[in-house]
Amino acid sequence: GQNIDQPTEMTATEGAIVQINCTYQTSGFNGLFWYQQHAGEAPTFLSYNVLDGLEEKGRFSSFLSRSKGYSYLLLKELQMKDSASYLCAVLDSNYQLIWGAGTKLIIKP
């Protein structure tokens, strides 16, 4: 079966750095996505990785290792507005998105 694993919840301090991990086992691989979802709202796109390595976009970076079936989302200089759920999703060989359950990130002052 296809599976995406990520921690259920994480807590971090304002101004700090946090890394959210995602491991996957899917039928084929055509890319990995990270989305941010604030409570009661729709998900919004953060990043897309299809090749190994680190993609940096401002305070957010996403890393992919296809051989390990592993990705992480790195958030730097945390702000209170970063409190949200972070969803990992993999595009499989049929170009269908397989979603993780999301990681709820709580930022404390």
The letter for the amino acid at 106 is I
Q: Which of 33, 34, 72, 86 binds other proteins (CB under 8 A)?
A: 33
Q: How many CB atoms are located within 10 Å of the residue 8 CB?
A: 9
Instruction: Return the range that interacts with other proteins (CB under 8 A); candidates 14-22, 43-51, 52-60, 75-83.
Output: 43-51
Residue closer to other proteins (CB basis): 41 or 77 = 41
Closest of 94, 109, 88 to residue 6, by C-alpha: 88
The yes or no reply on residue 3 touching other proteins (CB under 8 A) is no
Residue 73, Cβ density class (10 Å: 0-12 exposed, 13-18 middle, ≥19 buried) = buried
**Residues binding other proteins (CB under 8 A):** 4, 8, 31, 33, 40-45, 48, 50, 87, 89, 91, 95-97, 99-102
